[in-house]
Chains A and B, each alone.
Chain A
């Protein structure tokens, strides 16, 4: 009995952990470059899910159309993210941090409520791929979906790492996150770099939304804020915000803990555990597991 539940929790944890890791990377990239928690990131994921639904209605749902609609949803999400950045964050870049934090919350709220007016009811997730379930003794787990999710996510993460380390744009991203003014003086186009960062985060979020749709049968316009918006953020903070490996490991840790608690009797309290971990990490080591401790200049 225990072993069965443990296996189920483990597999589900790997699956949700990769989704969290993908989304946490978006948070971490944006935070690294503009030092701002992008509260609207969760809403970008929600838009990704809605685009997936619209595309599945439009061109049907099978593994081939999945690739087409993934590209479409990535483009839409990237455009929305760039728009959000231009409207809400760019004009306030030189003001107090609290102002852009408030606009970030406002933007998230705005997108969520626009979608509430468009479609208020619960939607059935589009099922682009259906894998058979696998039995391990008594435990029935969604092994192939998990393997698919984990494989693609790790591929994307490695691709992102290579992109940031090797390409010219990646180099300018690192330069801007290190010192925006100095990067500007060296001829880096800061605005374009920031837009690309937001777009990259949004693409990862859109793909994360597809994997989330494979896992969850229904979704609603609110799922971007609580279900899938805040927990990846917790993962990013736990791993150390601004650090890429931190976001990945944080995502897997939070996903694992959440689903392992989810199969026990105290499953109702799993949110308390997740936020408890966040609070503990922030209090004990505020820069996160992999974060760098930057001193405060007087």
Chain B
């Protein structure tokens, strides 16, 4: 009897999970088909938007792995993207030059496969670099890590700026002009960009929901307790950093097939841009990162004359989100229909409580202003420790 019950539960559970997977994958497939049809026309705003949004989503999700799930602020993502873009570009140009090589005949259906290969190379180069620097860098924490990774980005930009100039030097780059004409050799289309984005996001989400992902979340919550429970903290930190660098490299690699890459296109500001996307969506929420990356990419493209104020708006968004809701839009939770259904209810509750909250806040403010202008007596004693805030 008991056994039967458990089996029944198991079967229904499995059915539910299967249903969930089916729904999720059909939605993802639908998104893929819809976006690749929408972005089909070559010179169109929609195509640019879809490709750029895909690149930014890959970058934001990979930064979320580091800053959201592991809880370490990293400002080096632009450096990894730059590395990836250069790796993919040099790889493609080298391939194009070595026309006689066997490999070209082996892999005839060039387009897709070549882009895929170049993007993987980009990711691997960035991951290797990430591995090399992670060993010294991850000894640091918090603001020191942020500064060191910022320094890493600036070093990468300087190196890219000083790459040899002449085209026959074998590097296929031209110093401050960067990589010219990769997208003339091979241009990415909306389908490829969206498909790559879906693959990257799926891999990262599968990773973070796995056993290793839970270990990383445990490190974020309390690394001493995690270490005491047998989680190898440094190992997991290095793994997260390398995976994050890999996908940042992939994002850069995709960018190389979309637009000209110059050293300044991935400077400090790009790191901030991606950070804004992650923070707005909520540090630790992957669906939040995806939604906010898409929105923040669409805004400047859709609104004309906006680009002048773009960075100002980014700064204001960062500031307001941090001051009003430091967890971001979704917090560490993921997007779900259930929460969306319940949100009108909670919104109404919030609205009902609003006048009261505003009036108490206003009263407090007036009291504070009055207190500042009041003449102070020399000794103020208010019931022991009561007004000492901890």
**Does B315 contact A282, Cβ atoms closer than 8 Å?**
no
Give the number of A-B contacts (CB < 8 Å).
Answer: 114
A92-B322 CB under 8 A given contacts A101-B73, A237-B144, A279-B136: yes
| Beyond A97-B143, A272-B158, 9 additional pairs, beta carbon < 8 A | A91-B323, A98-B73, A101-B143, A113-B312, A233-B147, A237-B147, A272-B155, A276-B155, A283-B137
Contact of A92 among B148, B159, B323 (CB under 8 A): B323
A106-B315 CB under 8 A given contacts A92-B323, A271-B154, A286-B139: yes
Kindly report which residue of chain A lies nearest to residue B323, judged by CB atoms.
A91
A-side interface residues toward B, CB under 8 Å?
Answer: 36-37, 87-88, 91-92, 95-99, 101-103, 105-107, 109-110, 112-114, 116-117, 181, 184-185, 225-226, 230, 233-234, 237, 268-269, 271-272, 275-276, 278-279, 282-283, 286, 298
A11 to B143: give the CA distance in the assembly, Å. Answer: 33
Contact of B312 among A105, A110, A237, A276 (CB under 8 A): A110
A59 to B80: give the CA distance in the assembly, Å. Answer: 49
**Does B139 contact A275, Cβ atoms closer than 8 Å?**
no
Contact of A113 among B142, B311, B322 (CB under 8 A): B311
Query: Which residues of the partner chain A approach B147 to less than 8 Å between Cβ atoms?
Result: 37, 233, 237, 278
A98 to B143: give the CA distance in the assembly, Å. Answer: 8
Kindly report which residue of chain A lies nearest to residue B319, judged by CB atoms.
A106
Query: Which residues of the partner chain B approach A113 to less than 8 Å between Cβ atoms?
Result: 311-312, 315
Most buried by A among B137, B146, B159: B146
A233 to B75: give the CA distance in the assembly, Å. Answer: 16
Kindly report which residue of chain B lies nearest to residue A106, judged by CB atoms.
B318
A298-B224 CB under 8 A given contacts A181-B390, A283-B139: yes
A277 nearest CB across to chain B (Å):
10
B351 CB-CB contact with A under 8 Å:
no
**Does B272 contact A282, Cβ atoms closer than 8 Å?**
no
Closest 7 A/B residue pairs (Cβ): A106-B318, A275-B151, A110-B315, A109-B315, A113-B312, A283-B136, A106-B319
A279 to B150: give the CA distance in the assembly, Å. Answer: 11
**Does A102 contact B151, Cβ atoms closer than 8 Å?**
no
Kindly report which residue of chain B lies nearest to residue A36, judged by CB atoms.
B143
Contact of A101 among B136, B137, B146, B315 (CB under 8 A): B146
Contact of B268 among A110, A225, A269 (CB under 8 A): A225
A37 to B150: give the CA distance in the assembly, Å. Answer: 13
Query: Which residues of the partner chain A approach B146 to less than 8 Å between Cβ atoms?
Result: 37, 101
**Does A230 contact B150, Cβ atoms closer than 8 Å?**
yes
B162 CB-CB contact with A under 8 Å:
yes
B236 CB-CB contact with A under 8 Å:
no
A230 to B75: give the CA distance in the assembly, Å. Answer: 13
A282 to B283: give the CA distance in the assembly, Å. Answer: 26
Question: Can you name 16 A-B residue pairings with CB atoms under 8 Å?
Answer: A92-B322, A96-B326, A98-B283, A101-B142, A102-B318, A103-B319, A106-B322, A107-B319, A117-B312, A230-B150, A234-B151, A268-B161, A269-B158, A276-B155, A279-B148, A282-B140
**Does A278 contact B158, Cβ atoms closer than 8 Å?**
no
Query: Which residues of the partner chain A approach B151 to less than 8 Å between Cβ atoms?
Result: 230, 234, 275, 278-279
Contact of A226 among B159, B268, B308, B314 (CB under 8 A): B268
Query: How big is chain B's contact interface, by range?
Result: 35 or more
Query: Which residues of the partner chain A approach B314 to less than 8 Å between Cβ atoms?
Result: 109
Query: Which residues of the partner chain A approach B388 to less than 8 Å between Cβ atoms?
Result: 184-185
| Contact digits for B306-340, partner A, Cβ 8 Å, 1 yes 0 no | 00110110111011001100100000000000000
B63 CB-CB contact with A under 8 Å:
no
Kindly report which residue of chain B lies nearest to residue A274, judged by CB atoms.
B151
Query: Which residues of the partner chain B approach A114 to less than 8 Å between Cβ atoms?
Result: 312
B181 CB-CB contact with A under 8 Å:
no
Kindly report which residue of chain B lies nearest to residue A287, judged by CB atoms.
B144
Kindly report which residue of chain A lies nearest to residue B225, judged by CB atoms.
A298
A105-B143 CB under 8 A given contacts A181-B390, A269-B158: no
A275 to B308: give the CA distance in the assembly, Å. Answer: 31
**Does A268 contact B162, Cβ atoms closer than 8 Å?**
yes
**Does A109 contact B318, Cβ atoms closer than 8 Å?**
yes
A110-B319 CB under 8 A given contacts A101-B73, A269-B158: yes
Query: Which residues of the partner chain A approach B300 to less than 8 Å between Cβ atoms?
Result: none
Please provide the chain B residues from 166 to 218 with a CB less than 8 Å away from any CB of chain A in the complex.
Answer: none
**Does B312 contact A286, Cβ atoms closer than 8 Å?**
no
**Does A282 contact B144, Cβ atoms closer than 8 Å?**
yes
A275-B155 CB under 8 A given contacts A92-B322, A95-B326, A106-B319: yes
Query: Which residues of the partner chain B approach A230 to less than 8 Å between Cβ atoms?
Result: 150-151, 154
B275 CB-CB contact with A under 8 Å:
yes
Kindly report which residue of chain B lies nearest to residue A284, judged by CB atoms.
B136
A283 to B151: give the CA distance in the assembly, Å. Answer: 13
B75 nearest CB across to chain A (Å):
8
B61 nearest CB across to chain A (Å):
18
Kindly report which residue of chain B lies nearest to residue A266, judged by CB atoms.
B162
A188 to B166: give the CA distance in the assembly, Å. Answer: 64
A269 to B147: give the CA distance in the assembly, Å. Answer: 19
B279 CB-CB contact with A under 8 Å:
yes
Kindly report which residue of chain B lies nearest to residue A120, judged by CB atoms.
B308
**Does A99 contact B326, Cβ atoms closer than 8 Å?**
yes
Query: Which residues of the partner chain A approach B323 to less than 8 Å between Cβ atoms?
Result: 88, 91-92, 103
Query: Which residues of the partner chain A approach B315 to less than 8 Å between Cβ atoms?
Result: 106-107, 109-110, 113
A223 nearest CB across to chain B (Å):
14
A103-B73 CB under 8 A given contacts A117-B308, A117-B312: no
